[in-house]
Amino acid sequence: MGISKGGVQYCFGNKDALIDAMFERWGKAYDQVFDSIAGSDPAPVTIVQAHMQATRSSDQASSAKAAGLMATLIQTPEHLDSTREWYRGRIAGLDLNTEQGKKARLAFLATEGAFMLRFFGFMDIDQAEWDDMFADMQKWVLNEMVQQD
């Protein structure tokens, strides 16, 4: 990258700070897509829909880097806690006593499962299959939620 090790250390101080900065950068890109879909005051189901669409639309290189950073971040208690909090927050408002809430939770879990399988390299999923998976989630889970409203 044309930067010396000393230059990186000067800018970030240590490896953890560098990882934090990289994850924050990826997070901002995700947040821009998420916010454009979810709007300013989204309902709990809309949060899940926006998360699914933001995950689907993220480019493969960025998502692979984010997965690698996640693997690194969850090795420390403070990062694991913040990761748990972030994930729980995505589905916190769902009413799991309703079919809509249950389906939204299922869509969230399917999205995360697909992301982790693809970007941790546990399953080869090309772009066409990726798009098909999200089309299925949209059709079988999210469309049914919209029809119930």
Nearest to 30 by CA among 56, 4, 68, 8: 56
Q: How confident is the model at residue 69 (pLDDT cuts 50, 70, 90)?
A: confident
Do you know the residue count of the chain? 149
Position 19 pLDDT exceeds 90:
no
Position 65 pLDDT exceeds 60:
yes
Nearest to 82 by CA among 11, 10, 133, 19: 19
Give the pLDDT of residue 74: 74
pTM: 0.78
CB 34 within 8 A of CB 54: yes
Q: How confident is the model at residue 48 (pLDDT cuts 50, 70, 90)?
A: very high
Q: What digits encode the pLDDT tens for the residues 105-134?
A: 999 999 999 999 998 889 999 999 999 999
Q: What domains are defined for the chain?
A: 5-148 (1.10.357.10)
CA-based Rg of the chain, rounded to a whole angstrom? 17
Q: How confident is the model at residue 143 (pLDDT cuts 50, 70, 90)?
A: low
Nearest to 130 by CA among 65, 60, 68, 82: 60
